[in-house]
Structure formats: C-alpha cells, structure tokens
C-alpha cells in the first residue's frame, strides 16, 4: 500500500522581478512561512519536517538554458510525504511561489490527484452502470426492443453509428447502443429526452410534418412532454436528479482528462454518487408501478413504426447528389419543385436514410448557404409547403471549377474555413 506521495512543480520568474535567485534563497523563503511547517530543518536546499513526515527539495536549472530563452530564474520544487499533508501543502506552496514573484508554474507530478481520481472513478462507474441498467430494463419492458429508436435523439444515434466499431466482441451478441453514448447523454434520457421528440432538431422535424389541425397540435404537445415529467417525476425529478447528475458529470470529465483534484472533489463525488445510487435503486423498486395510458401507447407505437423504417445517416455528398436527382426529376413536372417532406421521407427514407439525421444535415447545409428552403404554394395545395433547392451558384463558377457537386463542396469548405 502506497504511503508516500509526490507533488512536483516547475516554477520560473519570467519577468526578473523576484528577489529570489537561488535554490537556497527559495528554501529560506519557504522556511519562513510558518503556516507550512511544524519543526522544519534545512540542509542543502532540502527541508525536512519529521513531525509532518514531509520533505521538500529544490533544484535549479542551468543558467545557460535560461539565457537561451530569456528566462531569468527556474526552479523545480518537489515535496514528498503522507497523503493528507501533501494534499494540503500543495496549494500553500503554489500560493507562496506566486507571492515571491514566480509568475509561471507548471505541475509536473501530482500523485495526490492521481489517488483521488482513482477513488472517484469506480464510484462514477457504479452510478453510470446502474442507471444504464435501469433505463434498459425500464424501456425494454415498457416499449419493447424498439425503445432506442423513439427514445434516443438524432445526435445520440449519430454518435452510436460513429462508435459502433469501438467494441467488436460483445456487440456480436448484444444490443450495445446504450454503451456507446456519453455519460451526460445517459442522464438526458431521464431528464431531457422524450420517448417521442424533444431535441430542437426533432421538434423542427415534427412541426414540418404536422397537420394543420387542433388534434394534431394537442398530440404534439403530449409527445414533447419529457420523460422527466411523464415517467420519472416521482422517482427522479422530485429528488433533483438532473442537477446531481450534471455535477457528477463535471467530476467525471476531470477524471477522464487526468486533471488535478482536491480532497473536496472526492468528498463531493462521495456525496453525489451516494445520493444518485439511492435515487436509481428506489426508482428500480417502483419500476412495475409505472404504466402508460392508451394515448401514450398509441403515440409510441406510431413513433416506433416510423423509426423502424430507417437507420442509416446520410452524408453531405450523397444528400446533394440525391437533391440534384430530385431537381432534375422536378423539372419534368408541371410544378417544378422539390417538397422538403417528400424529399426526406418518401425519397431518402425509402432508400434507408434516417429522417431526423437528414433534416439535421439539411438545416446545416442551409446555414452554410449550400441549399435553400422556401415556401411553395402549389395549384392544388390549400397551404404552402416547405420546398428545398440547391443554392444559386455565382455566374462563371461552373466553368472554372467543374461539376455542381464539386462547387458545393468548395462552398462548404469555404464556409467552414471562414
């Protein structure tokens, strides 16, 4: 079992304002800080404190190296001792270095933070896996094997599609989609998603498909109600799940990026994980008491049917190619327009592309100026419909740059560069 922990920093005076020029001078300066020590002893730029079971060593870098880069003074300060002492002394030493004119300091080694991170991660892992278990159990038993298609938003589906090759052993035998999304997204299934439509892109998609009737609007309102309110109000929402989950997510990010930690981070992680585990376990005990009413079941069945039609995510080049084909076809018709809904659902959808992902990409291409959306009033339409067309290409561009698709690629590239 590890009993001694190291904290090491490289510190320098880049401005030359500090009066401390040698390791001995810095050692005496640190010795004078009574808040750091109990019974310190100094020898050869090394401070030992037997009461605190701590040692501090200071080394100077060579003056030749410093002169090459116009650095006035560089030191390496290393402390070693018991966990509790080093954990507290780290910040005190950093504050002292700053107070005596060392204006650039870099942490080289922090075994205290490593220990804290190693203690936090298993706790976060337990919470994440327990929520994943609960959500799979809840939605599979309530919605069946198609639960993912109506619960995950388009961004989650894209992420799963991109990461599907991350794990190639278990995925041969199981549905592992819930393992391919991020920690934050797992929480969003509880507090922000709807087993229908809830993200901005999904709402846009649904509104574009909406009939002009009072019943359709009422139905949409029901669909947009989040899982937090519909299914998890008594078990998760009333226990402030979202705030706790998002606070723990921040700590998880720090662990994932091997960041620096204090004892208070560990205390906070203990508090959050204990509370979240209790919330999820209590929810699991009440899982059988949650029932969907008939209207909710009808909506979910409809959404499942729709979502099962498509899986693939179309890319920019393919979408522009398909739009060009549709525009060429439209030129042979009397109205000569490409309806947005027809293009996404009847054309792209019929060949296996996910509706919501297609709408997402079209919105992106519209922002980039590559396609245009407009209202078209047909001869037989009571209401105008949203149509799509390729953006106008500046005169002369076609001759100098080649095919229309190549021009569109250049427009996208130029937009992203700017």
d(CA 70, CA 290): 69
Instruction: Give the residue with greater pLDDT, 193 vs 191.
Output: 191
Residue 110 belongs to a domain: no
Q: Residue 44 belongs to a domain with what CATH number?
A: 3.30.310
Mean pLDDT along residues 126-145: 90
Alpha helical stretches, state H, 235-354: 241-256, 263-285, 294-307, 316-330, 340-341
pLDDT attached to residue 112: 97
Give the integer Cα–Cα distance in Å for 242 and 259. Answer: 24
Q: What is the mean pLDDT of residues 9-29?
A: 91
Q: Which of 43-52, 91-100, 147-156 has the lowest mean pLDDT?
A: 147-156
* Helical ranges in 331-403 per DSSP H: 340-341, 355-367, 397-401
**Where is mean pLDDT largest: 54-63, 122-131, 192-201, 377-386?**
122-131
- Tell me, yes or no, whether 27 and 134 share the same domain: no
Please give the Cα distance from 104 to 240 (Å, whole number): 41
Tell me, yes or no, whether 138 and 209 share the same domain.
yes
Residue 92: pLDDT band (50, 70, 90) is very high
Number of domains in the chain: 3
Residue 111 has pLDDT above 80, yes or no: yes
Same domain, 19 and 80: yes
pLDDT, tens digit, 9 for 90 and up, residues 361-391: 999 899 889 999 998 877 666 678 889 999 8
Mean pLDDT for the stretch of residues 89-112: 95
| Claim to verify: residue 290 and residue 399 sit in the same structural domain | no
Does one domain contain both 174 and 282? yes
Q: Is residue 111 in some structural domain?
A: no
Pick the closest to residue 223 from 322, 302, 281, 333 (CA basis). 302
> What pLDDT does residue 17 have?
87
> Is residue 128 over pLDDT 90?
yes
* Residue 195: closest CA among 239, 234, 146, 160: 146
Domain boundary among 102, 124, 154: 102
- Check residue 417 and give its pLDDT: 54
Confidence class for position 69, pLDDT limits 50, 70, 90: low
Phi, psi of 86 (to 5 degrees): -65, -40
The residue range of the domain holding 409 is 316-417
In a domain, 126, yes or no: yes
Task: Determine, yes or no, domain membership for 107.
Answer: no
Task: State whether 155 and 243 are in the same domain.
Answer: yes
> Do 173 and 190 share a structural domain?
yes
pLDDT at 292: 66
The verdict on pTM exceeding 0.75 is: no
pLDDT band at 118 (very low <50, low <70, confident <90, very high): very high
pLDDT at 96 over 90: yes
Does 243 share its domain with 136? yes
Residue 10 lies in a domain: yes
User: What mean pLDDT do residues 50-71 have?
Assistant: 74
Question: What is the rounded distance in angstroms from the CA atom of residue 201 to the CA atom of residue 357?
Answer: 9
Higher-confidence position of 289 and 4: 4
Q: Annotate 368-391 with b (16+ C-beta within 10 A) or e (fewer).
A: bebbeeeebeeeeeeeebebbbbe
Range of lowest pLDDT (107-121, 180-194, 219-233, 312-326): 219-233
Task: Give the separation between CA 226 and CA 203, rounded to whole angstroms.
Answer: 12
CA 43 to chain centre: 50
Query: Using CA atoms, how far apart are residues 309 and 353, in angstroms rounded to an integer?
Result: 9
d(CA 264, CA 359): 45
End-to-end CA distance of the chain: 55
170, part of any domain:
yes
* Nearest CA among 275, 267, 238 for reference residue 251: 267
Q: Name which residue leads in pLDDT, 185 or 231.
A: 185
Q: Do residues 181 and 274 share a domain?
A: yes
3-state DSSP percent of the chain in helix, strand and coil, to 5: 55, 15, 30
Residue 395 has pLDDT above 50, yes or no: no
For residue 249, give the nearest of 151, 167, 146, 131 by alpha carbon. 131
Window from 183-187, 211-215, 297-301 with minimum mean pLDDT: 297-301
Q: Are residues 83 and 131 in the same domain?
A: no
* C-alpha to C-alpha distances, 155 to 160, 198, 222, 252, nearest whole angstrom: 9, 12, 22, 21
Q: What is the pLDDT of residue 198?
A: 45
Lowest average pLDDT, out of 60-74, 156-170, 241-255, 264-278, goes to 60-74
Q: How confident is the model at residue 397 (pLDDT cuts 50, 70, 90)?
A: very low
149 lies in a domain?
yes
What's the pLDDT band for 95 if we cut at 50, 70, 90?
Answer: very high
> CA 366 to CA 6: how far, in whole Å?
55
- Statement to judge: residues 215 and 301 lie in one domain: yes
Q: Which of 237, 272, 307 is the last residue of a domain?
A: 307
Name residue, tokens 């030992």.
48
Mapped onto helix, strand or coil, the DSSP state of residue 407 is helix
1 vs 331: which has the higher pLDDT: 331
Q: Which of 40, 72, 102 is the last residue of a domain?
A: 102
Tell whether 109 is covered by a domain: no
Mean model confidence pLDDT for the chain: 82
CA distance 361 to 354: 11
Verify that 273 and 138 share a domain, yes or no.
yes
Please check the confidence at residue 354 and state whether its pLDDT lies above 70.
yes
Tokens 């107070």 belong to residue: 99
Give 331: exposed, middle or buried? Use CB within 10 Å, 0-12, 13-18, 19+: exposed
Lowest mean pLDDT among 126-130, 150-154, 185-189, 308-312: 308-312
Nearest one of 322, 328, 370 to 346, comparing CA atoms: 322
Under 8 Å CB-to-CB from 296, ≥6 apart: which residues? Answer: 222, 230
Buried/exposed code over 229-239 (b: 16+ C-beta within 10 A; e: otherwise): ebbbeebbbeb
Percent of the chain with pLDDT over 70: 78
Question: Out of 19-23, 229-233, 330-334, 404-408, which region has the weakest mean confidence (pLDDT)?
Answer: 404-408
Q: Average pLDDT of 158-180?
A: 84
Tokens 């998609």 — which residue?
205
């Amino acid at each position: 079992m590890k009993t001694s922990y190291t904290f090491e920093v490289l510190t320098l005076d880049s401005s030359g304002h500090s009066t401390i020029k040698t390791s001995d001078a810095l050692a005496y300066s640190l010795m004078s800080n009574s808040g750091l020590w109990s019974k310190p002893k100094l020898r050869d730029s090394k401070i030992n404190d037997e009461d605190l079971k701590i040692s501090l060593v200071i080394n100077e870098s060579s003056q030749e190296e410093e002169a090459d880069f116009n650095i006035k003074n560089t030191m390496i300060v290393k402390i070693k001792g018991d966990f509790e002492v080093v954990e507290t002394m780290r910040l005190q030493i950093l504050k002292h270095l700053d107070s005596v004119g060392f204006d650039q300091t870099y942490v080289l080694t922090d075994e205290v933070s490593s220990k804290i991170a190693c203690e936090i991660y298993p706790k976060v892992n337990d919470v994440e896996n327990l929520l994943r278990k609960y959500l799979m159990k809840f939605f599979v038993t309530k919605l069946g094997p198609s639960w993912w298609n109506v619960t995950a938003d388009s961004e989650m589906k894209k992420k799963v599609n991109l990461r599907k090759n991350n794990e190639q052993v278990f995925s041969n035998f199981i549905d592992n989609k819930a393992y391919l999304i991020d920690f934050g997204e797992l929480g969003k299934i509880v507090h922000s998603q709807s087993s229908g439509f809830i993200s901005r892109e999904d709402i846009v998609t649904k509104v574009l498909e909406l009939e002009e009737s009072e019943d359709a609007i009422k139905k949409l309102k029901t669909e947009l109600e989040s899982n937090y309110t519909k299914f998890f109000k008594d078990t998760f929402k009333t226990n402030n799940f979202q705030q706790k989950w998002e606070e723990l997510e921040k700590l998880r990010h720090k662990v994932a990026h091997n960041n620096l930690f204090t004892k208070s981070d560990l205390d906070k992680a203990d508090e959050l994980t204990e509370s979240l585990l209790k919330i999820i376990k209590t929810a699991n005990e009440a899982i059988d008491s949650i029932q969907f009413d008939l209207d909710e079941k009808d909506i979910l069945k409809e959404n499942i049917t729709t979502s099962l039609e498509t899986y693939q995510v179309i890319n920019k080049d393919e979408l522009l190619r398909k739009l060009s084909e549709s525009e060429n076809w439209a030129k042979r018709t009397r109205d000569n327009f490409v309806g947005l809904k027809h293009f996404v659902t009847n054309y792209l959808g019929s060949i296996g592309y996910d509706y919501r992902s297609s709408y997402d990409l079209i919105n992106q291409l519209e922002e980039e100026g590559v396609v245009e959306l407009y209202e078209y009033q047909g001869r037989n339409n009571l209401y105008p419909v949203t149509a799509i067309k390729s953006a106008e290409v500046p005169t002369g561009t076609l001759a100098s740059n080649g095919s229309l698709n190549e021009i569109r690629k250049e427009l996208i590239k130029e937009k992203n560069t700017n």
